[in-house]
Amino acid sequence: MLLGRVKWFSPERGFGFILLDDATEVFVHYTSIVGDGFRILHAEETVEFEITDTIHGKQAKNVRRVNNSSAIKDENASEPDNRARSAG
């Protein structure tokens, strides 16, 4: 398994790129992410994966997050409301 960092990933389009230490970019499709339900990756997330050669070039497969869930903000969590409230 290789380690890389998610360069970017578009949930709307279902794909993105993983960046290796040597600056090589590897295509990743949402179907290659291990997990259930809606599978997405977040920029700067560390992942481990395998590489397969396709007719379009190198592609990541069996992509798994590497214990950085605390660094990922839950997109469904509500933001605290820090606006001042007027008394009255």
**Beta bridge pairs of residue 65:** 47
Task: Report residue 81's pLDDT band, with 50, 70 and 90 as the boundaries.
Answer: very low
Q: Is the pLDDT of residue 51 over 70?
A: yes
Q: Which domains does the chain have, with CATH numbers?
A: 2-69 (2.40.50.140)
> Which one, of 41, 75, 84, 87, lies nearest residue 49 by Cα?
41
Please report the pLDDT score of residue 30 as a whole number: 96
Task: Report residue 74's pLDDT band, with 50, 70 and 90 as the boundaries.
Answer: very low
Q: 68, 74 in Cβ contact below 8 A?
A: no
**What is the number of H-type helices and E-type strands within the chain?**
0, 5
Rg, Å, the chain Cα set: 17
Tell me the residue ranges of DSSP E strands in the chain.
Answer: 2-10, 15-19, 25-29, 46-54, 57-65
On average, the pLDDT of the chain sits at: 83
Q: Is the pLDDT of residue 82 over 80?
A: no
